[in-house]
Chain A
Amino acid sequence: MKKEFRLLKGNEAVAEAAIRAGADAYFGYPITPQSEVLEYLMLEKPEERTGMVVLQAESELAAINMVFGAAGAGRRVITSSSSPGISLFQEGISYIASAELPCVIVNVVRGGPGLGTIQPSQADYFQATKGGGHGDYHMLVLAPAFVQEMADFVPLGFKLAFKYRTPVMILTDGLIGQMMEKVELFEQIPRATEFDQDWVATGKTPDRERNIITSLDLQADQMEKRNHRLQAKYKKMQEEEVRFEEIACEDAEYLMVAYGSSARICQKTVQLARDRGIKAGLLRPITLYPFPSNYLQAKAETVKGILSVEMNAGQMIEDVRLAVNGKIPVEHYGRFGGMVHSPNEVMEAFEEKIVKP
């Protein structure tokens, strides 16, 4: 089989990957910097290619609840938005998590708070990894750093979403969403024709019990049980789904931790540091929830300090600090509000905050 390469924007890669991943439906609402997802899908006529449904909703409130509906029928459903729209998703995501429905949600993050800017940011880390909406829940969060991963994480996202019956978020940003890179496209995966009759609401047939998809348990003891079920899922994710990439970590004396765009930048900083004789390494978490805490806990025995490099005012740093539990100093560096740090700026901060003290 000849490999298929295309030059694509990150957003286009998500859209093409959604069709190829055998998605049944996409519901979304335009917002910069991710509108190319919906635009690409509309142009591609996926209903002719695979039978996939694409609908422009009247709002993000409607879009996420369309996702809820189609996911309740056991379908592979995907949506995308950017920060302000993702805020509107939150009620729906909480319902989806509680009702234990699978879906993939892409957040092409822009600077905030409020209407903010349309430039890239990582300021939605807390919202993505800590729950976001009301109640005790998490999404499984994947953080692509390349356009290639924008494509590959779509089928991976569906796989994990159905394995755990949970919403999966692909947390990216305007930089990766807009950037063009060479992508190797995977082959078309057929859309599913059979659905897990244990839970889908597709119509009660005589051969099975009826299925009710709800997030409501008026009896508190029942609701506690549901919460225990969710927590057991999250524990299993922590045991089985942690993904990360180590860059020059083996002999590192000082570490940077960065994901997505920021990790791409820090990769260069590692080179700069090594050129200056500093034994620097980079940990790139690929899953932000579950977070590679065990790795960092172990690493705290050998490295002298960690710089958490994020395009925000310091959010992931809390997870890094929790992991190392006070053993070594952990500092934050990052530009934010839509500004992107340069490798040199990171280098300066790295020397000042981590290497020199």
Chain B
Amino acid sequence: MSIHVKSMDVKDIIKEENLVYRKSPLMTDNVLSYCPGCGHGTVHNIIAEVIEELGIQSNTIGVAPVGCSVLAYEFIHIDWLQAAHGRAPAVATGLKRVMPDKYIFTYQGDGDLAAIGTNETIHVCNRGEHITIIFINNGIYGMTGGQMAPTTLEGMVSSTSPYGRDVSTMGNPIKITELVAQLPGTYYVTRQAVHKPGNVRKTKKAIRKAFENQELKKGVSFVEVVSNCNSGWKMTPVKANKWMEENMFVFYPLGDIKVDGELVK
């Protein structure tokens, strides 16, 4: 007796009841410019989902940085401004001050936010602009080819710290997120990741809260996402995620740092 096994078609799998993750309709069809394994695309999709679920597309303006995510405006289907390197918080301030009831967010890498733009970051958080900052910390300058970032860990190899970051001459990695949490103008500060489904869900909750907080007009909501840069780190995506868990999360522990204006713990 022969058993006939009907081979399963992809179409049979793509069904509503099987849907765990999907591409948000607010993601455009443009081909992502990110390397396979990179976290930027996942965070983009989360932002698109949150905007879609809150129904705020017509009231949301994004500010894209200089860095790998300079082209974020190609991927999330909303109005955008593309800012100069590090200046996204100032651009967001200009937008928010003339449109106080719109949802304004910046999307920035660590070089953008914590090196060239530190002044703007600190002051937007100190003034307490009612905006959302999404901060992707991959510990490296991704776009320019893997140079040392302000967040690069001690001993970590990059193209401009080829023998590892020597903190005695190159300075220490900066925990900008803990720093801004100390400022009176931040209302919500959290650090998340997107390398596993559970983390993706947590990050989505955090980003949703960060957008909803804008209605309260109580200051900056700041979401750091610790992410990998497998190209810059010269690792496979799987190895990069493992290395991130074992090294990045030790120095940059995940979790809420400030909630509803109160420091956690």
Interface residues of A (CB under 8 A from B): 24-25, 27, 53, 55, 57-59, 61-63, 65-73, 75, 77, 91-92, 95, 99, 200-206, 210-216, 218
Contact = CB atoms under 8 A, between A and B. Distances in A.
8 contacts: A25-B97, A55-B93, A65-B84, A65-B91, A69-B90, A73-B98, A201-B81, A206-B58
A92 B87 contact: yes
A302 to B, nearest CB: 48
B95 interface: yes
Given A68-B83, A72-B95, A73-B99, A216 B70 contact: yes
Contacts of A71: 94
B77 A201 contact: no
B218 interface: no
B173 to A, nearest CB: 24
Contacts of B97: 25, 53, 55, 66, 70
B79 interface: yes
B91 A72 contact: yes
Contacts of B161: none
B107 to A, nearest CB: 14
Interface residues of B, number: 33
B61 A203 contact: yes
B119 A212 contact: no
Interface string B65-96: 00000110100011111111001001111111
Interface of B: 57-61, 63-64, 70-71, 73, 77-84, 87, 90-99, 102, 119-120, 123
Nearest to B60: A203
Given A65-B94, A203-B57, 4 more contacts: A67-B94, A95-B84, A202-B99, A203-B60
Contacts of B90: 57, 61-63, 65-66, 68-69
A69 B94 contact: yes
Q: 4 shortest A-B CB distances, which residue pairs?
A: A69-B94, A65-B90, A66-B94, A214-B82
B58 A205 contact: yes
B74 to A, nearest CB: 8
